């Protein structure tokens, strides 16, 4: 809770009021990245991560694999390969965060949308996320391109203690 409040204060201090107002619905999704990251992990340098996990994304709205197991404290380099013909993305988060963010993307598809826990990948390309999972539990990765999450483009990450 304290982290969330800190995130809100940060967001307010960096944004003029008009922008803060406009991005309100989105703010609950991911602009409080500081608070969210404390819930499940933090950005890590992908070049130094020992564990490399390749995830393929397709126009069938599926991630392959759809489930990943990592150990708490482990730094992971996710290599997301877009095998489809349209843009896909991989966004790490709690299910709650991802759901909120997916809704925000629908009402504002062009919104600023770039943080350490996500990567956008053009067709035929690969992108990377470096992430260290700091809490045991179940987390998710989803594609938040409008409609894709609802179509089932989500995978599960189980972080073992």
CA atoms of 142 and 129, how far apart (whole Å) = 13
Beta carbons of 55 and 65 less than 8 angstroms apart: yes
Q: Which stretch binds Cu ion (CB under 5 A): 12-20, 41-49, 117-125, 135-143?
A: 135-143
Give the total of residues touching Cu ion (CB under 5 A): 5
Beta strands in 15-125 (DSSP E): 41-43, 51-57, 63-64, 67-71, 75-82, 88-93, 118-121
Alpha helix (H) residue ranges in the chain: 2-14, 17-22, 24-26, 33-40, 95-107
Least distance to Cu ion, CB of residue 158, Å: 22
88 lines the binding site for Cu ion (CB under 5 A) = yes
Least distance to Cu ion, CB of residue 101, Å: 13
145 lines the binding site for Cu ion (CB under 5 A) = yes
Q: Figure out which of the listed residues 76, 91, 148, 159 binds Cu ion, where binding follows CB under 5 A.
A: 148
120 lines the binding site for Cu ion (CB under 5 A) = no
Beta carbons of 66 and 152 less than 8 angstroms apart: no
Q: Figure out which of the listed residues 70, 143, 154, 159 binds Cu ion, where binding follows CB under 5 A.
A: 143
Burial group, residue 78, by CB count within 10 angstroms (0-12, 13-18, 19+): buried
Least distance to Cu ion, CB of residue 136, Å: 28
Nearest CB to Cu ion, comparing residues 100 and 132: 100
Report the SS3 class of residue 46.
coil
Q: Which stretch binds Cu ion (CB under 5 A): 10-18, 124-132, 134-142, 144-152?
A: 144-152
| Cα radius of gyration (the chain) | 15
Least distance to Cu ion, CB of residue 105, Å: 11
**Residues lying near Cu ion in the complex (CB under 5 A):** 88, 143, 145, 148, 153
């Amino acid at each position: 809770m304290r982290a969330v409040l800190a995130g809100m204060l940060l967001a307010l201090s960096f944004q003029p009021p008009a922008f803060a107002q406009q991005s309100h619905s989105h703010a609950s999704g991911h602009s409080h990245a500081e608070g969210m990251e404390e819930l499940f992990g933090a950005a890590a340098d992908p070049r130094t991560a020992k564990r490399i996990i390749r995830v393929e994304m397709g126009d069938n709205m599926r991630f392959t694999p759809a489930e990943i197991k990592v150990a708490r404290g482990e730094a992971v380099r996710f290599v997301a390969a877009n095998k489809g013909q349209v843009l896909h993305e991989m966004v790490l988060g709690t299910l709650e965060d991802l759901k909120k963010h997916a809704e925000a993307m629908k009402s504002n598809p062009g919104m600023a949308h770039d943080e350490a826990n996500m990567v956008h990948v053009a067709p035929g390309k690969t992108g990377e996320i470096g992430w260290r999972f700091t809490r045991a539990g179940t987390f998710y990765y989803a594609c938040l391109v409008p409609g894709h999450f609802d179509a089932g483009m989500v995978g599960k990450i189980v972080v073992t203690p």
